[in-house]
Amino acid sequence: MPIQAADNESQATYKQIDDVRLYINGEFVNAKSGAMFENVNPFTNEVNNLVAEGRQEDMNKAVAAAKEAFEHGPWGKMKVEERMKQINRIADLIDEEIEEIAFLESLDTGLPISQTRKMTARAAENFRFYARMVQTKLHGESYLVNDEFINYTVYKPLGVVGLITPWNAPFMLETWKVAPALATGNTVILKPAELSPLTANKLAEVIDKAGLPKGVFNVVHGFGETAGDALVSHPDVKAISFTGETTTGSIIIKNSADTLKKTSMELGGKSPLIVFDDADLDRALDAAVWGIFSFNGERCTANSRVFLQKNIKDQFVEALKERVANIKVGDPMDPLTQLGPLIEKEHFNKVKQYIEIAKEEGCEVVQGMVPDEVKVGNFVPPTLLLNAKNSMKVCQEEIFGPVMAVIEFETEEEVVAMANDVRYGLAGYVWTNDIKRGHRVAQAVEAGMLWINAQNVRDLRIPFGGTKDSGIGREGGHYAIFEFYTEPKVIHVAIGEHHIPQFGKKK
Ligand code: NAD
């Protein structure tokens, strides 16, 4: 299928997008059933390509390959330096292909190319980071006990791990799981979101090229209820790392219970951004706008609820309106585009529906413009829901689009109570120049990650994850390698003649 794309200089080029197959045991293969599903372009609503639809039998084949690779292949026996060389090679190959990967990601998701380029660079860094982390930090402890024993710990990979990922930042989120899983010596089955299959296969190509032993990394495309569930319920899969909706996370926990799997859950959010009247309002404005309208608003840590202190509210709202009117909406391949189309028609309809609900609930809705020439795409203009109340449906449910609810507050106590009056607890942002208040509020907001006077920037060494209905467990930093992708094993060694009870021995 010919696809029009714009390169760096915005000159049109044409590309053929290949159909996507499964990657099992080092080979690109069709699904056993031969079934394929369509992958639709969110900008044109035309079919980009077809995707092999993996089902139970394909998942069984992938798990068998990963199990064989873990138990009998060279991956686990390889020297750590050698394994990390391969992990670093993956990072180098991603860097070499950054333009192609960013292009495919934008084509698949509608995310603006200027943003997918950065996400791809970050994805390469995920591999380098975990190669360094495993080499320098993945070590156990040792205790000398009364000169009678040495107790020591070693961290062992789990075996076959299943990684299930969403469509909102697919390549970045996939590598965020694949890198620590592989670096710690596990073998992997990746089940990417059905709406964004292209870059997952690019990752398979890159890993294939990096020369990892067959069966170490596998990709099975398909739908959640079939392919995803087959992974979740497979007895040979030791753990599931999941990122996606809260309701899906809950289903996965239930369905993994029979096979007693370890699970990690990165789920939805409805994060507050609080602006006090003493804040640097210009910077707070930049952060508030970026935090909801970047990644097309399809961002788990988006500041979808913005709380403004009463005496700065009107001026801040005026500035928000001006920004929203000027956000550049358009072709995701245009390097100047700031907001692209939403992933699919169904999600587009859902977001539009929430905007209607906001009107019914009494919000004033202010929107930017979608140029006529792109209206065939799933575009929702940047949207402000003014005069919102925290109890409204649009302030309680995750909309996952370019929609910011603006809520007024007067006191610190009141805003903390409202910020916490929600089922989610992923992220939060506090803007104030009162250092004591900044810390106080950040500590009081119920969320896994808080930023004071900062937009959502984070160091890879820091834990990532949410509390309440936003998740269980943490990814990132040493949390991923110590608390999820490995298990400690304790070895007790007697070095002296300690007492052993002598049951049954004649005196
Ligand atoms: P989703 O839950 O619909 O799907 C995510 C993945 O789960 C897909 O691969 C899907 O096929 C699979 N899946 C669906 N049902 C399944 C089942 N029964 N068994 C196994 N797998 C199943 O989520 P989405 O719509 O792709 O992504 C958007 C959501 O992800 C939002 O809620 C967003 O907040 C969340 N998210 C969270 C984070 C985080 O780190 N907390 C990051 C990004 C996205």
CA-wise closest residue to 165 among 475, 496, 494: 475
Q: Are strands 160-164 and 142-145 parallel, antiparallel or unpaired?
A: unpaired
For CA atoms 355, 356, 361, 366, the dihedral sign is: positive
Q: Looking at the predicted structure, is the pLDDT value of residue 411 above 80?
A: yes
* Ligand 1 contact via 474 beta carbon (within 6 Å): no
Task: Report DSSP state, residue 5.
Answer: E
Q: Closest ligand 1 atom, CA of 195?
A: 26
Ligand 1 pocket test, candidate residues 245, 264, 470, most atoms within 8 A of CB: 245
107: amino acid identity, one letter: L
- The verdict on the CB of residue 219 being under 6 Å from ligand 1 is no
pLDDT above 70 as % of the chain: 97
Question: What's the confidence (pLDDT) of residue 9?
Answer: 41
How many residues are given for the chain?
507
Cα-to-centroid distance, 399 and ligand 1 (Å): 14
- Going from the Cα of 152 to the center of ligand 1, the distance in angstroms, rounded, reads 38
Per-residue confidence at 76, pLDDT binned at 50, 70, 90? confident
pLDDT band, very low/low/confident/very high, at 16 (cuts 50, 70, 90): confident
| Distance in angstroms (rounded) separating the CA atoms of residues 216 and 207 | 10
Overall average pLDDT of the 491-507 stretch? 95
* Ligand 1 pocket member 76 (CB < 6 A): no
**Interhelix angle 170-183/113-137, nearest 10 degrees:** 10
Give me ligand 1 centre to Cα 109, in Å: 14
- Going by C-alpha positions, the residue among 223, 194, 3 that lies closest to residue 106 is 3
Domain ranges of the chain: 22-32+50-267+470-491, 272-452
User: Given a cut of 70, is residue 6 above it in pLDDT?
Assistant: no
Whole-number pLDDT of residue 15: 67
DSSP letter, residue 464: B
Q: Which two tokens stand for residue 195?
A: 């709406």
CA distance 248 to 242: 9
For a mutational test of ligand 1's pocket, the pick from 300, 399, 464, i.e. the residue with the most ligand atoms closer than 8 A to its C-beta, is 300
**DSSP readout, 6-40?**
E-TT--EEEEEPPPB-EEETTEEE--TT--EEEEE
Of 3.20.20.70, 3.40.50.1370, 2.60.120.10, 3.40.605.10, the CATH number of 22-32+50-267+470-491 is 3.40.605.10
Residue 11 scores a pLDDT above 80: no
Ligand 1, atom nearest to 246 Cα: 32
Nearest Cα to 340, choosing from 1, 6, 2, 58? 6
- What ligand 1 atom has the least distance to the C-alpha of 398? 32
User: What pLDDT does 74 receive?
Assistant: 97
| CB 164 less than 6 A from any atom of ligand 1 | yes
Q: What is the distance between the alpha carbons of residues 163 and 239, in angstroms, rounded to a whole number?
A: 8
Q: In sequence order, what are the residues at sequence separation of 6 or more whose Cβ sits closer than 8 angstroms to the Cβ of residue 45?
A: 345, 376, 377, 378
Strands (E) across 80-233 are located at 142-145, 149-157, 160-164, 187-191, 217-219
pTM of the model: 0.96
Active-site residue among 266, 361, 398, 408? 266
Which residues make beta-bridge pairs with 23? 28, 219
- Answer yes or no: is pLDDT of 12 > 90: no
Q: How far apart are the first and last CA of the chain?
A: 88
In CATH, the number for domain 272-452 is: 3.40.309.10
Task: Determine contact, residues 245/267, Cβ cutoff 8 Å.
Answer: yes
- CB within 8 Å of 318: residues ≥ 6 apart: none
Q: Does residue 50 contact residue 217 with C-beta atoms inside 8 Å?
A: no
Contact 52, 22 (CB under 8 A): yes
Ligand 1 in reach of 342 Cβ (< 6 A):
no
Ligand 1: residue whose CA is nearest its atom 16: 224
pLDDT higher than threshold 50 for residue 455: yes
Ligand 1 centroid–CA 242 distance in Å is: 7
CA 344 to centroid of ligand 1, rounded, Å: 15
**Across 296-301, average pLDDT:** 98
Q: What are the pLDDT digits (tens) for 176-197?
A: 999 999 999 999 999 999 999 9
Residues 6+ apart with CB under 8 A from 365: 355, 358, 359, 383, 384, 385, 386
Q: How far is the CA of 3 from the centre of ligand 1 (A)?
A: 28
Residue 232, ligand 1, Cβ within 6 A: yes
356 in active site: no
Please work out whether the CB of residue 400 comes within 6 Å of at least one atom of ligand 1: yes
Nearest-CA residue for atom 35 of ligand 1: 244
| Highest-confidence segment of 15-19, 137-141, 270-274 | 270-274
Which ligand 1 atom is at minimum distance from the Cα of 300?
Answer: 34
User: What is the tens place of the pLDDT at every residue in 22-58?
Assistant: 999 999 999 999 999 999 999 999 999 999 999 999 9
Q: 243: Cβ below 6 Å to ligand 1?
A: yes
Average predicted confidence (pLDDT) for the chain: 96
pLDDT in tens, 138-175: 999 999 999 999 999 999 999 999 999 999 999 999 99
In short, whether 398's Cβ falls inside 6 Å of ligand 1 is yes
Tokens 């970050």 appear where? 122
* CA–CA dist 469, 371 (Å, integer): 37
Contacts of 484 (CB under 8 A, 6+ apart): 180, 239, 241, 262, 264, 473, 475
The answer on pLDDT for 13 being more than 50 is no
* pLDDT of the residue at 507: 86
**Residue 379: CB atoms within 10 Å:** 22
50, 20 in Cβ contact below 8 A? yes
Q: Decide: residue 251, CB within 10 A, 0-12 exposed, 13-18 middle, 19+ buried.
A: middle
> Is the alpha carbon torsion for 215, 217, 222, 224 positive or negative?
positive
The residue whose CA is least distant from atom 39 of ligand 1 is: 266
Distance CA 243, CA 204 (A): 19
Q: What count of other Cβ atoms lies within 10 Å of the Cβ of residue 458?
A: 15
How close is the Cα of 244 to the center of ligand 1, in Å? Answer: 2
Q: Is 5 left (phi over 0), alpha (psi -120 to 50) or beta?
A: beta
Provide the 3-class DSSP secondary structure of residue 325.
helix
E strand or H helix at 275? strand 272-275
pLDDT digits (tens, 9 = 90+) for 87-120: 999 999 999 999 999 999 999 999 999 999 999 9
Q: What is the pLDDT of residues 212-251, one digit of tens each?
A: 999 999 999 999 999 999 999 999 999 999 999 999 999 9
Report the alpha-carbon distance of residue 422 to residue 396 in Å, rounded.
6
Per DSSP, 329 falls in state B
Closest by Cα among 389, 321, 322, 402 to 360: 389
What percent of the chain stands above pLDDT 90? 95
* Nearest Cα to Cα of residue 166 among 266, 65, 282, 21: 266
Distance CA 380, CA 344 (A): 11
In the reported structure, the alpha carbon of residue 400 is separated from the centroid of ligand 1 by a whole-number distance in angstroms of 12
**What is the rounded CA–CA span in Å between residue 223 and residue 219?**
13
